[in-house]
Amino acid sequence: MTSTPALPSRTEVAVVGAGPTGLALAVTLAEAGVDFVLLDRQAEGANTSRAAVVHARTLEVFDELDPSGALSADLVARGIPVSRFRIRDGARPLAAVDFDGLPTAHPYALMVPQYETEAVLLGRLRALGVDVHRPHEVTSATQDADGVTLTTAAGETLRAAYAVGADGMHSTVRTAAGIGFTGSAYDESFVLADVVMDWAPGPSEVSLAFGAAGLTVIAPLPGAGAEGAGRRYRIVATVAEAPSSPDLPFVRALLAERLRGEARVHDLVWSSRFRIHHRVADRYRAGRLLLAGDAAHVHSPAGGQGMNTGIQDGHALGRALAAGDLDAYEARRRPVALRVVALTDRMTRVATARGRTLRALRNTLLPALARIPAFRNGLARELAELDYR
Ligand SMILES: Cc1cc2nc3c(=O)[nH]c(=O)nc-3n(C[C@H](O)[C@H](O)[C@H](O)COP(=O)(O)OP(=O)(O)OC[C@H]3O[C@@H](n4cnc5c(N)ncnc54)[C@H](O)[C@@H]3O)c2cc1C
């Protein structure tokens, strides 16, 4: 277990949850000289790969957190920059979305496991002289005219002027604030798998393959297989049914059915299956309680927006807390979540369209649209989250 500093009894801002959102918020507060406590119920940070893509706008936020550029350079060095998303029908290319013309210092999508992104943010926080307080599970948050009192499972209390729920989808802070989480769940399950394989199109692009059985995303990850055989890829697939930890034969069969002959899977590194919801918190603030990241919005992983939106929330909220302009935070960031939920929902529904006629229409329309530069560039800008500067 990591040894962490004792929990103080008072602070200005209590940040509940040290995932990517809480870490980005904490770094922003530390840079601004705001007194805060960051706590997490886990004894250690998670080491699973989860969100695998960091978009251009998030790398710009890293540059705002460290204008020397060293922070974004550290992350970029741990990943693979990819300049193209290729949309396919099965293995057949339909359209491409290019990032290399984007007006940003980072004209690419960076493929990198979530634990690396968290490690880079934590490294920056520690360099600023602050660490995460672990393991402290917040069980209640009550507010009065002067502040918020958080109580932990061990019975300790922390008094703060403000408390932020960066505590994920099942947020305790959101429940304590009485804020609704409006939306519903998709019918399909999503399978995630990091595999070592040979993939005919190669590691220079991300593929989003449509198919009657569902959407399959194939994206390169850093790292090779044993003795250099194959390389690492992230698979995300919508499925009607799957075991909770899909095994190697399951993933092989799935790719053999959907991408005939294109993928030869050697090894399974990590896998998970989960139901996805699309929900947005009705408000981002109730008095002294605030929400950010998955506590405020969840959606389909199509396009890899979840963690990116959370990091950007954390940064925006840190600035709003430092400036004392909290209403601006909700006004700026909630519309972004609504737009991201709508975009990922559209992508998921187009990709999983059922019925031969609908799919044929889609496969005709999409290549035609993708030949229009304004459509192509608009989609790239939206995926890179550059419209949310
Ligand atoms: C299996 C899996 C696969 C995913 N794949 C993708 C993907 O491919 N692409 C993508 O964009 N996103 C993906 N996501 C989502 C992505 O991981 C999240 O969007 C991102 O982690 C959100 O960050 P967050 O900091 O807001 O919340 P989280 O990462 O959930 O962090 C919340 C933190 O709060 C802590 N916490 C919770 N409750 C309490 C409490 N009561 N007291 C103290 N601490 C608490 C938790 O321990 C945790 O560390 C995936 C998620 C999972 C689980």
Question: What are the start-end ranges of the E strands in 167-262?
Answer: 181-199, 206-210, 216-224, 231-239
Protein residue with least CA distance to atom 35, ligand 1:
17
Tokens at residue 376, please? Answer: 């192509």
Residue 66 C-alpha to ligand 1 middle, in angstroms? 24
Which strand (E) or helix (H) includes residue 177? Answer: helix 172-177
Residue 250 C-alpha to ligand 1 middle, in angstroms? 25
Which strand (E) or helix (H) includes residue 176? Answer: helix 172-177
Question: Which residue matches tokens 């003795």?
Answer: 227
Residue 386 C-alpha to ligand 1 middle, in angstroms? 23
pLDDT of residue 1: 45
Q: What is the pLDDT of residues 245-265, one digit of tens each?
A: 999 999 999 999 999 889 999
Ligand 1: nearest atom to the Cα of 48: 1
Ligand 1: nearest atom to the Cα of 42: 47
Question: What is the rounded distance in angstroms from the CA atom of residue 61 to the CA atom of residue 49?
Answer: 21
Residue 346 C-alpha to ligand 1 middle, in angstroms? 23
For the purposes of burial, counting CB atoms within 10 Å of the CB of 292, is it exposed (0-12), middle (13-18) or buried (19 or more)? buried
In this structure, which CATH number among 3.50.50.60, 3.30.465.10, 3.40.50.720, 3.20.20.30 belongs to the domain 10-52+113-180+282-348?
Answer: 3.50.50.60
Probe ligand 1: pick from 294, 305, 344, max atoms within 8 Å of CB?
Answer: 294
Q: Nearest-5° angle of CA 166, CA 176, CA 172?
A: 40
pLDDT of residue 226: 61
Probe ligand 1: pick from 7, 27, 37, 40, max atoms within 8 Å of CB?
Answer: 40
Count CB atoms within 10 A of the CB of residue 242.
Answer: 20
Contact 58, 385 (CB under 8 A): yes
pLDDT of residue 68: 96
Residue 278 C-alpha to ligand 1 middle, in angstroms? 15
Residue 52 C-alpha to ligand 1 middle, in angstroms? 13
In sequence order, the β-bridge partners of residue 239 are 189
Question: Which residue matches tokens 């995303």?
Answer: 217
Residue intervals of the chain classified under CATH 3.50.50.60 are 10-52+113-180+282-348
Label the pairing between strands 157-165 and 263-281: unpaired
Ligand 1: nearest atom to the Cα of 136: 43
Contact 196, 265 (CB under 8 A): yes
Q: How many residues does the chain have?
A: 389
Residue 19 C-alpha to ligand 1 middle, in angstroms? 6
Residue 161 C-alpha to ligand 1 middle, in angstroms? 25
> Considering the entire predicted model, what is its pTM?
0.94
The CATH number of the structural domain formed by 184-277 is 3.30.9.10
pLDDT of residue 228: 63
Residue intervals of the chain classified under CATH 3.30.9.10 are 184-277
Residue 168 C-alpha to ligand 1 middle, in angstroms? 5
Question: Which residue matches tokens 């995926």?
Answer: 383
Measuring from each residue's beta carbon to the nearest atom of ligand 1, which residues come in under 6 Å? 16-22, 39-42, 50-52, 114, 137-138, 166-168, 172, 192, 236, 272, 274, 293-294, 301, 304-307, 310
Ligand 1: nearest atom to the Cα of 192: 3
Probe ligand 1: pick from 110, 307, 313, 315, max atoms within 8 Å of CB?
Answer: 307
Using alpha carbons, list the distances in angstroms from residue 73 to 19, 21, 68, 109, 117: 21, 20, 9, 14, 12
pLDDT of residue 291: 98
Question: What is the rounded distance in angstroms from the CA atom of residue 28 to the CA atom of residue 318?
Answer: 5
Residues of the chain with pLDDT under 70: 1-5, 225-228
Which strand (E) or helix (H) includes residue 30? Answer: helix 20-32
Longest Cα separation, the chain: 64
- Report helix, strand or coil for 14: strand
